[in-house]
Amino acid sequence: MRIQENGQAGTISLNDNAGLGNLDYELQWGANNNSKFRINFIQDPLNPSATQLVLTGTPEGRVGINEDNPDLLNTRFVSSTTNDDYAILGSNSSPSGMAFLARTNMVGYATKLNQNYIGTQIGVLSQSVSTAIGVGERYGGFFVADAASANGYGLWAEAGFNGSGNAYGIYAVAPTVGGPFVSPTSFAGFFDGDIDVLGNIFNTSDRKLKENIEDEANAMDRIMALRPSTYTYRMDGKPGQLNLPKGDQHGFIAQDLEEVFPELVTNATAQIRDGKGSSPIDGGSEDYSFKSVNYIGLIPILTKGIQEQQSTIDRLEAELAEVKELLASNESNKGSNGATLDKANVLYQNTPNPFNAQTRIRYQLAEGSQNAEILVFDMNGRQLRAFSDLKAGDNSLLLEGAELEAGMYFYSLIVNGEEIATKRMILTK
C-alpha cells in the first residue's frame, strides 16, 4: 500500500528481499531528510488532531518513546513504575551476552564493538566517551535514590560466591596520574560522607609488588615534629555543602603534616552544589579542591618510633643497672673503718641490647685476679665463644653480630674457676 503527497511517500509492503521466499513486512517513509515517522494516540475521536505522542523515528535511525526529538542526549524509554513493570528490561543468557548496552555516542559504540567479550557476562555496560551531560562532565552511570519514606540505595552491589572464583560487589578502576603531588588526582572511589565497613579493610602490601625497600630511620625525630590537633569541620559556605563529619575530631592538619611527610598528603576534588540545580547532571555543581591525608601510611612510622623509643629505654635501664652494681660493689668492699678495698669483679650488661651489628660487653676485674675469662653460651648451654686474658681494671670487649645467628644468648664472667655473674643478650638480624 502506498500513500504519496508532495513528492514524499509512505508504504506498507510485503517484500521477498532475499529472494528465498521469506517475506518481510516493511513500513517505510521518505524521502525528505527532515521528515519523521510518528505513532500517535488519538485522544478524541471527534478531533483527530488531539493526539498523544507514543513513538517517533528519525532518518538517522534514532527512536524515541514519548520523545519527539530523540538524539544522543535525550532518547527516552518510558514505562510504568508500578507493580513489576520496567522502563527497560533486558535478558541475555548467551556466554558473552549483554542484557543492556548503554553508550553516549557512536565513537564509544565502535570502540566497544572492537573489544572481545567472549566468555564474559555483562548486565549493564555504560560508557561515557564525550561530554554527555552537564558542562565538561562525563558520567558512565548516575544513580540517585530518594529515601524520604524508606531506605534509599543509590547503588546496591552484591556478588555471589560459590568458592570457584573471585567475587567483587564493586570493582572500580582509576589510572594513577603520577603521585600525590599531581593535580588533578585520580581515585578509584570517592565518598562524600561517612563510610562504615562490616568487615576488614586490607591494603596491598605484597613484597612482589615493591622495590627500593629500606628500613625506616630516625622516625622519632620526625614524629616529634608532628602536631596532633583537635578540631571541628566547618559547616558554612562551600565546606558546609559537603557531608563532613560533625562534632569534635582528632587528627592532623594536612598542610602541617605535609611539611614532615609530604608523601602522605594528596590533593582531592569534590563536586559541590552551587544552587543552579539539584544534581551534577543539571549543571548545578562545581569542583571544590582540598588536601587529604593518608592516615594508614603513618602506622609503620609510628611503629618504628616505638621501637626506637624502646631501644633507648633498654639502654638507659642497662646503664642504670651498671650504676647500681657499681654502688653495691663499692659498699661491699669497704673495711670496718670505711676505707674502700680493692675493686671487686663485676660483669655489666652489654650495650646495645638487643643488638644487630655488634655489641660491647663491659667488665671490671680486681687486682690480682687470675684465669679470668668471659664465655658466651646459646640457650642449650653450648659454649660458642671464649674471651681470655682479660686485664685487671675497668675494661670492655666487642662481640660481632656476624659471628652468631639471630637469637638469645648468655654470657658469663669466670674468675679463678668461679662464676661471678651471668647476663642475657639478644641478637637480631
Question: What's the pLDDT at 227?
Answer: 94
Tell me the pLDDT tens digit for each residue of 360-407: 999 999 887 878 999 999 988 899 999 998 988 889 999 999 889 989
| H-only helix segments in 235-297 | 254-260
- Which position has the grid cell 642475657? 424
Q: Is 426 helix (H, G, I), strand (E, B) or coil?
A: strand
Average pLDDT of every residue of the chain: 78
Q: What are phi and psi of 256, to 5 degrees?
A: -70, -45
pLDDT value at position 74?
Answer: 44
pTM of the model: 0.54
Mean pLDDT throughout 257-272? 91
Question: Of 4-18, 111-125, 168-182, 314-328, where does mean pLDDT reach its minimum?
Answer: 111-125
- Can you give the pLDDT at residue 56? 85
More confident residue, 325 or 335: 325
CA distance 52 to 219: 74
Return the pLDDT at 377.
93
Query: CA of 7: how far to CAs of 11, 53, 56, 254, 334, in Å?
Result: 13, 25, 21, 72, 132
Summarize pLDDT for 357-371 with one digit per residue, the tens. Answer: 899 999 999 887 878
Residue 113: CA count within 13 A, CB half-sphere: 7
Q: Residue 185 carries which DSSP code?
A: -
331-351: per-residue pLDDT in tens?
655 544 444 444 578 999 999
User: How much is the pLDDT for 159?
Assistant: 83
Predicted confidence at residue 332, as pLDDT, reads 58
How far, CA to CA in Å, does 21 sit from each of 1, 25, 26, 28?
20, 13, 15, 21
pLDDT in tens, 185-241: 788 888 888 888 888 888 889 999 999 999 998 899 999 999 999 999 999 988 988
Q: What is the pLDDT of residue 9?
A: 84
Q: Which residue has the cell 663491659?
A: 362
Residue 113 vs residue 8, higher pLDDT? 8
How large is the greatest C-alpha to C-alpha distance in the chain, in angstroms? 140
| The pLDDT of residue 132 | 41
Q: Which range among 258-267, 281-290, 365-374 shows the weakest confidence by mean pLDDT? A: 281-290
Residue pLDDT, tens place only, 227-250: 999 999 999 988 988 889 999 999
Q: What is the pLDDT of residue 339?
A: 44
Measured distance CA(291)–CA(370) in Å, rounded: 70
Give the pLDDT score at 245.
93
**If 0-12 CB within 10 Å is exposed, 13-18 middle and 19+ buried, where does residue 244 land?**
middle
User: Would you say residue 104 has pLDDT above 50?
Assistant: no
The span from the CA of 313 to the CA of 427, in Å, is 17
> Pairing state of beta strands 63-65 and 51-57?
antiparallel
Looking at residue 389, its pLDDT comes to 82
How do beta strands 229-231 and 122-127 pair? unpaired
Q: Which residues contact 405 (CB under 8 A, 6 or more apart)?
A: 427, 429
**122-127 and 98-103: which strand pairing?**
parallel
From its phi and psi, is residue 212 left (phi > 0), alpha (psi between -120 and 50) or beta?
Answer: left
Instruction: Report pLDDT digits (tens) over 110-167.
Output: 334 444 444 555 556 665 554 444 445 666 777 777 656 677 788 888 887 777 778 8
